[in-house]
Chains A and B, each alone.
Chain A
């Protein structure tokens, strides 16, 4: 079965310092992995996606993530946090098997706080 574990429910950083949001996945098949962001009272916005083309994936707003198959990890990073990055972040896996498009499986989310 597929699953996603976000290792921190809450991360707090100071503005201008690096951000690291950790995600581990479990999948029997080659997965597609995504990071979504949700600002308060908003829908989900796609930050970046892993599609097996490259292990280091660059997304919007300076975020990037590295796929490490040996560690089954897909951690999200940003070199320098901005106040506008304060939001909830979801690591998501989608696995296609047997011809089925598959569902998205969401992690529990990590709330990122950014202190001035």
Chain B
């Protein structure tokens, strides 16, 4: 089974621009989560989509948005880029069901998109 794929792997943008990142989950997984990883803040949760609906959201400004398509593929968008948005953006997929048995929210990660804002 193919793993989680993310495109592009590397991006260089300038301040003020916007960017769209793409994530294709593992086949059969309906939940996609996005994370930002920086040296200073570590791994921070951005949002989670399940069945085309945002189910959870982290503490990020509205410049960060996302969506999920009917085939579970997801995109995240960052508008009006700032220098501080430079980071590794990781996407993770999971089955996403609400079953009663653990493990809860076992997620599988993609290789990430390295965004550099100049």
- Measured CB to CB, the closest approach of chain B to A30, in angstroms, equals 8
Contacts A99-B98, A101-B31, A104-B33 given; does A90 touch B43 at CB 8 Å: yes
Decide yes or no whether B48 CB sits under 8 A from chain A.
Answer: yes
Decide yes or no whether B64 CB sits under 8 A from chain A.
Answer: no
- Measured CB to CB, the closest approach of chain A to B90, in angstroms, equals 6
Q: How would residues 90 to 108 of chain B score, 1 for a CB under 8 Å from any chain A CB and 0 otherwise?
A: 1010101010011111111
Interface residues on B, range: 20 to 34
Chain A, residue nearest B108 (CB): A46
Which of B56, B106, B111 makes the CB contact (< 8 A) with A32? B106
Interface residues of A (CB under 8 A from B): 30-32, 34, 36, 41-46, 49-52, 90, 94-96, 99-106, 108-109
Q: 8 new A-B pairs (CB below 8 Å) besides A32-B102, A101-B56?
A: A43-B109, A51-B102, A51-B103, A94-B104, A101-B48, A102-B104, A105-B45, A106-B42
